[in-house]
Amino acid sequence: MGFQSTFAGPHQICFFLGKLLIIPALISLASLGYAQQELESLRSDPEQIFAFQIHPILVKKCLACHGGDPDEIKGELDLTTRDALLRGGATGEPGIIPGRPPESSIYLAALRDDDNWAAMPPKESERLTAVELEFLKQWIVKEAPWPDAEQLKKLQAGRDPWGSGLEVRVATSGGLSEEWTNRTYEPKNIWAYQPVLAVDLSNVSEHPIDHLINQRNPQGLVVAPQADKRTLIRRLSYTLTGLPPTPEAVESFLADTSAQAYENLVDQLLDSQRYGEHWGKHWLDVVRYADSSGFANDYPRPNAWRYRDYVIRSFNQDKPYDQFIREQLAADELFDDSPEAMLGLGFLRMGPWEHTGMSVGRITRQQYLDDVTSSVGQVFLGQALQCARCHDHKFDPVPTQDYYAIQSVFATTQMAELLVPFQPDENISRFEEEKKYLAKREAAIAELRKTVNHPHKTANDFGRSRLSGKWENLYRRARDLYEPFMLGVYNGHTQFSRNSYNRFDKPADTKKGVLESTAILTGGNVFTPAAPVKPGVLSVTSVAANIPQQLEGRRSGFAQWVTDKANPLTARVMVNRVWTYHFGQGIAGNPNNFGSTGDKPTHPELLDWLAAQFMDSGWSVKRLHKLILTSQTYQRSSTHPAIDQLDELDSERTSYAVFQVRRLTSEELRDSMLQVSGELVNEMGGIPARPDMNVEAALQPRQIMGSFAPSYVPHPMPEQRNRRSVYVLKLRGLRDPFMTTFNQPSPDESCEMRDASNVTPQVFALFNSEESADRALAFAHRVLTDSSSDAEAIEKAFLLAVGRRPERDELKAARTHWKECVTEHQQFHPEPRVYPTQVVRRANEENTGEEFTFTETLFEYQDYQHDLHAHEVDVRTRAFAEFCLVLLNTNEFVYIY
């Protein structure tokens, strides 16, 4: 892999200045070059005060009520001209008395503590700041001049005397007000919209990443040495596959003393199918993957798994990222002959959404459009577009116009479950056994339904009738699990009020309904459309887009713009995500927010260089990994040789002088336990797996609109349950407490980075739960089956769990513990665990207010084949399982160094 970059130019030019000079969209005002003295005099000029301080306040906080239509003006106080202000409102008092702030009513109202004047602006959140009040006072003291419109425009076009002098104006499609359109930005806040800067590293001999990291290393700060090989293989295995290395892999890596050993290991891990599962999960975090729709009914999305597997395959195949984007945004327009690409459209269906009998069609349709717009902004562009839904973006150069222009791209996009044949690499192997249970559940509900409909209904009849009606419908939807439907979209007119009770079929006539025309929605309200908007893009990027206005082709035009190499956001956003997962911190600290309120890049040249490399490599994510992982920066030890110096020179830990330790994620933890215990089933893809969940949580009654949801019941066979966590059924309305305790994020919001809290319920989950006990027992059994002595067993357990042999004192402690446990366990004779095959539901029935009950049969439990249990093994194994449980709870097991 080459590190040369293609563009020659001095890479150390001032980052921002360089951009200001070369980007025509930006108009630097810095060149006006005022001297300090001049500035002072401008700042005391009341016309300047009005232009840059008072007028913006009036526009932002006053004119909505005290401007506009004379009949609507509140308190008859008009604040659009000086004369009107002097005249005052209904009270007869003038708005101001020039020269005398304490007698000027608007000043008193703004102070908010005068008994005679109601506090203004009325909204507390808009109250004037102390600084603003001071300007208002100064302006009145200085006789409150009010330049005419032309003069005002001229003043405001000049430099803001209170700005830093570096501010720039940027070209956008324009805001709702001229003030917004003409406002200026500090260059550091709009870094993300500048083109990716070419960084010339042609004369650099070290790894470019190391070069770009080291050049920003705080002066004098030593960096940590390379971590040892045991640490590195564990770190690499987790970062690329989410699993610990096997003892064999560790041995072979240690034995390989060749110069290529490390690089070969990276290649090997990138080639593993486990890679796509792990990195697919990262992507699914960002796009909010779930198998249900959320909200009142949490309807199943039976075919969501096909998108999940598509994502995993895409990472494993190293699908070029630009292609990956195009498929997810517009496969139906671009690649409708490729079933695989079509599955990518699931992206456009990931958000929580429902339409029920209680919903208003226009509103839920708008929710969908808002959700997609916001998602596209966060996922691909690192932009909080949703901030511009009701008003021009407060901080970023994103006008409301752009929000609705992007939304308009999706205005002809309609949700549908499309029929796309199953492909050879899709896993459909478990359909038949699943159908068996569905049929049983359907039959039980059909039976129940026969009993409830008679004229003299009791509370039980009402409750059961409602419940069975609901479940009948849910089961009908569940049938789709086995049909080649996919979550997709098509282009067409909108048919409002399609109830998500039913599958959305693509209508025969896609032009039935309303051809939506997008308009700016005042206050984000679908019932108050204002100016019409054409489909478009984020205008501040000044990258042109060609988006048709007809029904077809909007999304492909938009995707073309997103993946245009000139688009400054797309590549940066993705390389920053990848970097974040490897290092636990982003180059830009908020992968979903490259706007002014996100953390600025700590190493902007590195971000740009990586982005350029990424695009030049054909958007290869695997090559990006290799580039990052082969740097010395990545291989540094997590222990710093001079921690005091590090604390002093880099308290924020942005230098990468030391590797940051991280805790396993919830999925890594569960998957690792299964791998260590030998139970992990490496089957890929297919319908969602239902592993064991804490039974109390699983059977906790869960309300869905008007009734209960069917219970969560684990799959009957171990090979169905003990799958990797990425394949586990993800219901928005029922989260596995083990996973949430270890910070698995809610699928309702895009997750840019996992939290890793350290809280007591984690102890209960990992130390006390049956799940942990089961893993520990299987782990013990596996090791003992394979060992000829106690010492060998202990050694094997250490190797499997933490990748090393025990030290002498550890071995001794483990042996003593084991012996004591044997004595303890001799007194205990475990019974087989009993699983519930029925659950009784009770609730107040809404028609009667009386209690109704319903008994649900849990069919899978009737055939349940449990994992290895204590009553099936000897005392020695049970005692050793205690030791194995301890190992799975050690810090060494749950942290990656």
Listed ranges 142-150, 443-451, 818-826, 854-862: which one lies at the site for other proteins (CB under 8 A): 818-826
Q: Which residue has the tokens 């608007």?
A: 106
Contact 832, 871 (CB under 8 A): yes
Residue of 748, 813, 613 lying closest to 201 (CA atoms): 613
- Nearest approach in angstroms of CB 691 to other proteins is 16
Work out which of 15, 422, 583, 764 binds other proteins, going by CB under 8 A.
764
**Does 832 interact with other proteins (rule: CB under 8 A)?**
no
HSE-CB for 516 with a 13 A CA cutoff: 28
- In this structure, the strands spanning 519-521 and 168-170 are unpaired
**Does 882 interact with other proteins (rule: CB under 8 A)?**
yes
Size of the site for other proteins (CB under 8 A): 103
Listed ranges 151-159, 409-417, 436-444, 766-774: which one lies at the site for other proteins (CB under 8 A): 766-774
Phi and psi for 559 in degrees, rounded to 5? -60, -35
Contact 50, 145 (CB under 8 A): yes
**Does 673 interact with other proteins (rule: CB under 8 A)?**
no
User: Which residues are within 8 A (CB) of 572 and not within 5 positions of it... i.e. 6 or more apart?
Assistant: 192, 196, 382, 588, 594, 607, 608, 611
Work out which of 733, 780, 803, 859 binds other proteins, going by CB under 8 A.
733
DSSP codes, 559-572: HHHHT-TT-TTHHH
Nearer to other proteins, 156 or 772 (CB): 772
Work out which of 761, 791, 840, 865 binds other proteins, going by CB under 8 A.
761
**Does 848 interact with other proteins (rule: CB under 8 A)?**
yes
Work out which of 384, 547, 573, 794 binds other proteins, going by CB under 8 A.
384
**Does 358 interact with other proteins (rule: CB under 8 A)?**
yes
**Does 645 interact with other proteins (rule: CB under 8 A)?**
no
Q: Buried (b) or exposed (e) across 587-618, using 16+ Cβ within 10 A?
A: bbbbbbbbbbebeebbbbbbbbbbbbbbbbbe
Contact 645, 234 (CB under 8 A): no
Q: Which residue has the tokens 């401008």?
A: 42
- Convert residues 692-731 into a mask of x (bound to other proteins by CB under 8 A) and - (unbound): --x-xx--xxxxxxx-x-----------------------
Q: Buried (b) or exposed (e) across 545-570, using 16+ Cβ within 10 A?
A: bebeeeeebbbbbbbbbbbbbebbbb
Work out which of 18, 145, 158, 361 binds other proteins, going by CB under 8 A.
361
Could you give the dihedral angle defined by the CA atoms of residues 314, 315, 317 and 322, in that order, rounded to the nearest 10 degrees?
60
Work out which of 233, 345, 814, 868 binds other proteins, going by CB under 8 A.
814
Nearer to other proteins, 317 or 703 (CB): 703
CA distance 737 to 686: 24
Residue of 153, 197, 183, 232 lying closest to 11 (CA atoms): 197
**Does 166 interact with other proteins (rule: CB under 8 A)?**
no
**Does 865 interact with other proteins (rule: CB under 8 A)?**
no
- In this structure, the strands spanning 413-419 and 485-491 are antiparallel
**CB atoms near residue 320 (< 10 Å):** 17
CA distance 882 to 819: 11
Contact 848, 739 (CB under 8 A): no
Chain residues 261-320 in contact with other proteins, contact rule CB under 8 A: 295-296
Could you give the dihedral angle defined by the CA atoms of residues 731, 733, 734 and 737, in that order, rounded to the nearest 10 degrees?
110
Work out which of 632, 639, 654, 837 binds other proteins, going by CB under 8 A.
639
Nearer to other proteins, 224 or 545 (CB): 224
418, β-bridge pairs: 486
Listed ranges 86-94, 192-200, 300-308, 828-836: which one lies at the site for other proteins (CB under 8 A): 828-836
What token pair was written down for 820? Answer: 């004591």
**Does 842 interact with other proteins (rule: CB under 8 A)?**
yes
- Nearest approach in angstroms of CB 70 to other proteins is 25
Nearer to other proteins, 13 or 811 (CB): 811
- Nearest approach in angstroms of CB 804 to other proteins is 11
Listed ranges 299-307, 341-349, 477-485, 596-604: which one lies at the site for other proteins (CB under 8 A): 596-604
Chain residues 11-40 in contact with other proteins, contact rule CB under 8 A: none
Residue of 522, 579, 302 lying closest to 390 (CA atoms): 522
Give me the sign of the Cα torsion angle 60, 62, 67, 73: positive
- Convert residues 328-357 into a mask of x (bound to other proteins by CB under 8 A) and - (unbound): ----------------------------xx
**Does 892 interact with other proteins (rule: CB under 8 A)?**
yes
- Nearest approach in angstroms of CB 720 to other proteins is 23
Work out which of 40, 143, 748, 874 binds other proteins, going by CB under 8 A.
748
Residue of 462, 339, 6 lying closest to 199 (CA atoms): 6
- Residue spans of beta strands (DSSP E) within 420-553: 485-491, 519-521, 529-532
- Nearest approach in angstroms of CB 831 to other proteins is 8
Listed ranges 242-250, 410-418, 718-726, 825-833: which one lies at the site for other proteins (CB under 8 A): 825-833
Nearer to other proteins, 126 or 433 (CB): 126
**Does 228 interact with other proteins (rule: CB under 8 A)?**
no
- Nearest approach in angstroms of CB 295 to other proteins is 5
Nearer to other proteins, 122 or 225 (CB): 122
**Does 598 interact with other proteins (rule: CB under 8 A)?**
yes
- Nearest approach in angstroms of CB 17 to other proteins is 26
Work out which of 8, 439, 531, 759 binds other proteins, going by CB under 8 A.
759
Work out which of 100, 154, 394, 476 binds other proteins, going by CB under 8 A.
394
Listed ranges 35-43, 76-84, 409-417, 824-832: which one lies at the site for other proteins (CB under 8 A): 824-832
Q: How far is CA 184 from CA 196, 485, 757, 865, in A?
A: 22, 50, 40, 67
Which 3 state secondary structure label does DSSP give 519? strand
| 493 DSSP 8-state letter | -
What token pair was written down for 407? Answer: 């939304």
Work out which of 430, 640, 723, 754 binds other proteins, going by CB under 8 A.
640
Listed ranges 37-45, 266-274, 680-688, 807-815: which one lies at the site for other proteins (CB under 8 A): 807-815
Nearer to other proteins, 563 or 593 (CB): 593
Work out which of 72, 749, 786, 792 binds other proteins, going by CB under 8 A.
749
**Does 522 interact with other proteins (rule: CB under 8 A)?**
no
- Nearest approach in angstroms of CB 608 to other proteins is 23
CA distance 531 to 519: 5
CA distance 468 to 452: 9
**Does 853 interact with other proteins (rule: CB under 8 A)?**
no
Q: Buried (b) or exposed (e) across 476-485, using 16+ Cβ within 10 A?
A: ebbeebbebb
Residues in the chain: 897
Residue of 573, 570, 607, 569 lying closest to 587 (CA atoms): 607
What region, left, alpha or beta, does residue 759 occupy, with left being phi > 0 and alpha being psi -120 to 50 degrees?
beta
CA distance 182 to 158: 10
Chain residues 770-789 in contact with other proteins, contact rule CB under 8 A: 770, 773
Listed ranges 541-549, 560-568, 579-587, 749-757: which one lies at the site for other proteins (CB under 8 A): 749-757
- Convert residues 103-142 into a mask of x (bound to other proteins by CB under 8 A) and - (unbound): -------------------xxxxxx---------------
- Nearest approach in angstroms of CB 847 to other proteins is 5
Work out which of 846, 853, 855, 862 binds other proteins, going by CB under 8 A.
846
